[in-house]
Amino acid sequence: MNSTARILAVLDELLTGADPEERGALWQLAEQGRELDANLVRLPPDAEVGEHQEDVLDVLLVVIAGSGRVVTGGDALNLAPTTVVWLPRTSRRALAAGPDGLAYVTVHRRRPGLTIKPAVAPSAVYEGGEAPCMLDRVCPGCGRLSQDPEPVFCSRCGERFPER
């Protein structure tokens, strides 16, 4: 792990350098040994991220550019540059970009990697773990594994999962 502080991204440059219609994660924190995950996400004008729920992690959402709204718990919260929203774990939320689109940074604790756990003793039977194939739960936009067994939208980048 590198313990030296450094600039990882200049968000204005990433936003102006991307195609105006590009949707999803424009940047992701990818440093080895990190304890956080962070993403710069952009939604084009009037685009939406459907209602979803993050069961494991609290998420901090910081609006960088554009406008929109987040609907959570039946309340619609208006989003504008410099707005910071806390999305507690288990809360349901949906995002909608305004007429100029919406760009925001999400920050949360790093999700632990998936592992296969061995049986405790040679005679013990381990009945946990993940299904043998979860490719239908991997976001086509950013590669995040959804905790939802039947995901519709990615909670990280907003990409729609293919119909099953």
User: In this structure, is residue 2 part of a structural domain?
Assistant: no
pLDDT of residue 126: 44
- pTM score of the predicted model: 0.68
Q: Give the model's pLDDT for residue 1.
A: 56
86 assigned to some structural domain: yes
- Output the domain CATH number for residue 17: 2.60.120.10
- What's the confidence (pLDDT) of residue 2? 63
pLDDT value for 143: 77
pLDDT for the residue 118: 52
pLDDT score at 3: 77
The verdict on residue 163 lying in a domain is no
**Gap between the Cα atoms of 11 and 31, Å rounded:** 17
Has residue 63 been placed in a domain? yes
Given a cut of 90, is residue 161 above it in pLDDT? Answer: no
Q: Is residue 152 part of a domain?
A: no
Which whole number is the average pLDDT over 46-60? 89
Q: How far apart are CA 95 and CA 72, in angstroms?
A: 9
Average of per-residue pLDDT across 29-51 = 90
For residue 136, is pLDDT > 60? yes
Within a domain: 88: yes
Average pLDDT over residues 65-92: 94
Cβ atoms within 10 Å of 138's Cβ, excluding its own:
15
Q: Give residues with Cβ within 8 angstroms of 67, minimum separation 6.
A: 78, 79, 80, 81, 97, 98, 99, 100, 102
* Count of domains observed in the chain: 1
Beta strand 59-72 pairing with 92-109: antiparallel
As a whole number of Å, the CA-based R_g of the chain is 18
Predicted pLDDT at 121 = 54
Mean pLDDT score, 116-127: 51
Is the residue at 123 inside a domain?
no
In a domain? residue 104: yes
Question: Predicted confidence band at 131 (pLDDT cuts at 50, 70, 90)?
Answer: very low
Separation CA 62–CA 128 (nearest Å): 36
Listed as own residue / partner, the contacts of 117-121 with beta carbons closer than 8 Å and 24 or more positions apart are none
Structural domain boundaries, residue 65 = 11-113
Query: What residue type is 73 in one-letter code?
Result: G
Which two three-digit tokens encode residue 94?
A: 């949906």
